[in-house]
């Protein structure tokens, strides 16, 4: 699997157009934090009210933009959009959930054109901010909106078929396991994470009905996606119980699980791990000894394309569907048997064609 296997295509409409108050602000002096370095691009947000200046703000949930997973993917998408549009970009890392509104207000008060809010838990706050600021376009990553609650076209929820990415990863794991025991170490039990988990279990059992899957979600709390110590501990328990493949899905929490598997005896030969959200071969090199693939949501691409669309005005739809896929096998290309690759490829093609449904419901 040299190239990424996509599980669902972006809808035609998207494909064709496509510090303070409890937050920590991105450094506006650094191109890595502040967006476009293209000639003529703005270097600060003093002129965001000017129609000729396109300003992009991003607010994380309670996590960092360098989490090597979910937040980082959105951050990199916003950076790319700023580059493409010769716009200005700044981010705020939320420290406490009660500060969602205040953090977004830091951008709306300066007349930013578009604001990306990252995470399911920001859904209500994003909708409220969009209603109060009709001149600003809002993109809610992982936020599914009730049409009855959305009154304007200045907001869209960027969602992904996590169940399909999870199903493909689980199908691979079901064919690769020798112990018939798999594990999942997950972040907070919210719909996007549940879809990954349920998809993984459904795919694994479709490939191997004799399999058992141990699943654990992080307890509720602001650190649910930023607790690598907990993630490592849970992975260690699952390994001790005989799991030989563990799916880590939950930002830094999941990263902790991946890295624990990578340190385990037999990593890469007897025990394996699967990453999430992005190709974690690149973002979590410490996991490479066990990382056979990642169940990806192409968040970076989705954020970039949706922001480019936002530059032209309001959204056509209140929901935007992004892509999902499986990452390449990288150094495990020769480790995974040819017949396993062929079967996984076939399952991916069937989901893409719509002839195979995951059966996942929430």
pLDDT (0 to 100) of residue 10: 37
Q: What is the pLDDT of residue 9?
A: 37
Confidence (pLDDT) at 64: 87
pLDDT at 347 (0 to 100) = 97
- What count of other Cβ atoms lies within 10 Å of the Cβ of residue 124? 12
pLDDT, one tens digit per residue, over 25-83 is: 553 333 334 545 566 788 999 999 999 999 999 999 887 898 888 899 999 999 999 99
CA 51 to chain centre: 31
In three-state form (DSSP H/G/I as H, E/B as E, the rest C), the secondary structure along the chain is: CCCCEEEECCCHHHHHCCCECCEEECCCCCHHHHECCCCCCCCCCCCCCCCCCCEEEEEECCCCCCCCCHHHHHHHHHHHHHHHHCCEEEEEEECCHHHHHHHHHHHHCCCCCEEEEECHHHHHHHHHHHHHCCCCEEEEECCCCCHHHCCCCCEEEEECCHHHHHHHHHHHHHHHCCCCEEEEEECCCCHHHHHHHHHHHHHHHHHCCCCEEEEEECCCCCCCCCCHHHHHHHHHHHHHCCCCEEEEECHHHHHHHHHHHHHCCCECCCEEEEEEECCHHHHCHHHCCCEEEEEEECHHHHHHHHHHHHHCCCCCCCEEECCEEECCCHHHCCCCCHHHHHHHHHHHHHHHHCCCCCCCCC
pLDDT given at position 69: 85
Give the chain's radius of gyration (CA, Å).
Answer: 20
Residues in the chain, pLDDT under 50: 1-3, 8-22, 27-33, 35
Kindly report the backbone phi and psi dihedral angles of residue 342, in degrees, each rounded to the nearest multiple of 5, phi listed first: -65, -40
pLDDT (0 to 100) of residue 149:
81
Please give the pLDDT value at position 197: 98
């Amino acid at each position: 699997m040299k190239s990424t296997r996509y599980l669902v295509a972006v809808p035609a409409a998207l494909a064709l157009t496509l510090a303070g108050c409890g937050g920590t602000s991105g450094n506006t002096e650094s191109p890595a934090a502040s967006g476009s370095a293209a000639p003529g691009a703005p270097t600060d947000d003093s002129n965001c009210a000017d129609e000729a200046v396109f300003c992009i703000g991003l607010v994380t949930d309670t996590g960092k933009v360098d989490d090597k997973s979910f937040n980082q993917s959105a951050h990199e998408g916003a950076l790319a959009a700023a580059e493409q549009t010769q716009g200005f970009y700044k981010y705020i890392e939320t420290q406490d959930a009660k500060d969602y509104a205040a953090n977004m207000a830091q951008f709306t008060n300066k007349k930013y054109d578009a604001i990306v809010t990252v995470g399911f838990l920001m859904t209500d706050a994003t909708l409220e901010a969009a209603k109060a600021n009709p001149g600003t376009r809002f993109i809610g990553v992982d936020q599914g909106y009730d049409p009855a609650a959305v009154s304007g076209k200045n907001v869209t929820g960027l969602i992904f078929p996590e169940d399909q990415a999870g199903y493909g990863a689980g199908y691979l794991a079901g064919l690769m396991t020798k112990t018939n025991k798999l594990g999942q170490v997950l972040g907070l039990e919210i719909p996007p994470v549940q879809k990954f988990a349920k998809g993984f279990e459904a795919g694994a059992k479709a490939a191997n009905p004799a399999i058992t899957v141990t699943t654990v979600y992080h307890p509720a709390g602001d650190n649910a996606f930023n607790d690598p110590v907990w993630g490592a501990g849970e992975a260690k328990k699952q390994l001790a119980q005989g799991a030989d493949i563990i799916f880590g899905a939950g930002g830094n929490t999941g990263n902790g699980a991946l890295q624990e598997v990578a340190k385990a005896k037999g990593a890469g030969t007897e025990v394996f791990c699967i990453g999430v959200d992005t190709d974690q071969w690149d973002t979590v090199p410490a996991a490479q000894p066990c990382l056979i693939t990642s169940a990806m949501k192409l968040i970076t691409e989705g954020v970039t394309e949706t922001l480019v669309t936002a530059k032209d005005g309001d959204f056509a739809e209140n929901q935007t569907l992004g892509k999902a896929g499986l990452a390449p096998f990288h150094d495990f290309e020769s480790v995974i048997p040819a017949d396993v690759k062929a079967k996984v490829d076939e399952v991916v093609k069937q989901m893409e064609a719509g002839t195979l449904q995951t059966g996942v419901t929430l």
